[in-house]
């Protein structure tokens, strides 16, 4: 049996001082697997990604999350990241004046330091990043710009994938990575995900549409509705959703 990456048990969560969004969610992901979570607006998809990554405006009220033998709930957001959990943001943030390359190296070295490994000097890091850039068909002037500042929607998403490749996480949560992408950008993003994917790691895609799944084929598809997973299946379930809509499935 392959290594377990994450085990979410009876997860209940809400916005701090707000409404309950997740109402008993169960999900187990093993190494080598690609999972897709689909669901209508308001079903709790984004809440799930924020809970997993440790957003301070969300809180867990019940249940447990085991991340590679560690209690994820007790970990700060940066600790989760350094332990190998990466979330690609639906709306990546712009940070003025912060050089993209310097930021990437800082993030990379934070993880190296956390893991007790050697930090990369600028030259070593340049080599490492050139290789990833070519994978995504990105030009290196991308690195000289400020972090996401003035980036197009497609460039922001590509930058998320570049960060993912540099940080080489154990589990990737892709929060609507396909939203706002044209076909070329979608292909580049998918190529990045497929290049990253290996037997030792796992992907959780959160998406509205079947579109992305044409390029990145999931092993499991789950339908989220009313804060719970109401149906699971293989990739054919996504096609069913496309045809029938969520209402029928959730009913």
Partner 1 sequence: MQNLPQTEEKTSTDMFASLSSQEYKYGFSTDIETDSFPKGLSEEVIRKISAIKEEPEFMLEFRLKSYEAFKNMVDPDWAKLNIPAIDYQDIIYYSAPKAKPTKESLDEVDPEILKTYEKLGIPIEEQKRLEGIAVDAIFDSVSVANTHKKALAEIGIIFCSISEAIKEHPELVKKYIGSVVPHTDNFFSALNGAVFSDGTFVYIPPNTKCPLELSTNFRINTKGSGQFERTLIVCDDESYVSYLEGCTAPAFDENQLHAAVVELVAKEKSEIKYSTVQNWYAGDENGVGGIYNFVTKRAKCEGRDSKVSWTQVETGSAITWKYPSCILQGDNSIGEFYSVALTNNMQQADTGTKMIHIGKNTKSTIISKGISAGKSSNSYRGLVKVTPNAKGARNYTQCDSMLIGSTNAANTFPYIEVDGKSAKVEHEASTSKISEEQLFYLQQRGINVEDAIGLIISGFCKDVFKELPGEFAAEANQLMSLQLENSVG
In the complex, which residues of this chain contact partner 1 (CB under 8 A)? 15-18, 42, 53-57, 76-78, 80-82, 86-87, 89, 92-93, 95-98, 103, 106-107, 110-111, 114, 146-147, 163, 167
Spatial contact of 231 and 249, defined as CB atoms under 8 Å apart: yes
Closer Cβ to partner 1, 103 or 209, answer by number: 103
Helices (H), 70-152: 77-82, 100-114, 122-135
Beta-carbon contacts of residue 161 (< 8 Å; ≥ 6 apart)? 88, 136, 177, 188, 189, 192, 193, 196
Phi-psi region of 178 (alpha: psi -120 to 50; beta: other; left: phi over 0): alpha
Residue 112: count other Cβ atoms within 10 Å of its Cβ.
14
Q: How far apart are CB 157 and partner 1 at their closest, in Å?
A: 14
Give the shortest CB-235-to-partner 1 separation in angstroms: 28
Min dist. Cβ of residue 112 to partner 1 (A): 9
Q: Which is nearer to partner 1, 77 or 135 (CB)?
A: 77
Cβ distance 166 to 104 under 8 Å? yes
Write the Ramachandran bin of 46: left for phi over 0, alpha for psi from -120 to 50, otherwise beta: alpha
For residue 80, the minimal CB distance to partner 1 (Å) is 8
- Least distance from partner 1 to the Cβ atom of residue 102, Å: 9
* Look-up of token digits 């940070």: 95
Measured from the CB atom, the residue of 18 and 245 that comes closer to partner 1 is 18
Least spacing, CB of residue 204 vs partner 1, in Å: 15
- Nearer to partner 1 (CB atom), residue 166 or residue 181: 166
Helix, strand and coil in the chain, % to nearest 5: 40, 25, 35
Nearer to partner 1, 89 or 220 (CB): 89
Count the Cβ atoms, other than its own, within 10 Å of residue 186.
Answer: 20
Considering beta carbons, is residue 163 or 210 the nearer one to partner 1?
A: 163
Closest approach, Cβ 130 to partner 1, in A, equals: 20
Output 15 or 101, the one with its CB closest to partner 1. 15
């Amino acid at each position: 049996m392959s290594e377990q990456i994450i085990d979410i048990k009876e997860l209940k969560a809400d916005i701090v001082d707000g409404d309950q969004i997740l109402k008993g969610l169960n999900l187990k992901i093993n190494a080598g697997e690609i999972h897709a979570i689909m669901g209508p607006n308001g079903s709790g998809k984004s809440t799930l990604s924020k809970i997993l990554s440790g957003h301070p405006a969300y809180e867990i009220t019940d249940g447990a999350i085991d991340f590679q033998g560690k209690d994820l709930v007790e970990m700060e957001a940066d600790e989760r990241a350094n332990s190998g959990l990466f979330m690609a943001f639906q709306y990546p943030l712009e940070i003025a004046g912060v050089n993209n390359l310097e930021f990437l190296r800082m993030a990379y070295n934070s993880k190296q330091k956390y893991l007790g490994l050697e930090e990369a000097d600028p030259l070593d890091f340049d080599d490492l990043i050139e290789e990833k850039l070519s994978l995504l068909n990105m030009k290196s002037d991308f690195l000289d710009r400020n972090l996401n500042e003035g980036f197009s929607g497609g460039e922001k998403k590509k930058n998320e994938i570049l960060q993912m490749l540099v940080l080489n996480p154990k589990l990737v949560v892709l929060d609507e990575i396909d939203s706002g992408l044209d076909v070329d950008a979608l292909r580049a993003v998918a190529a990045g995900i497929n290049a990253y994917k290996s037997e030792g790691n796992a992907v959780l895609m959160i998406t509205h549409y079947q579109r992305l799944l044409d390029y990145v084929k999931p092993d499991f598809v789950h339908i989220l509705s009313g804060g719970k997973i109401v149906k699971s299946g293989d990739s054919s379930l996504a096609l069913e959703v496309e045809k029938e809509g969520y209402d029928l499935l959730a009913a």
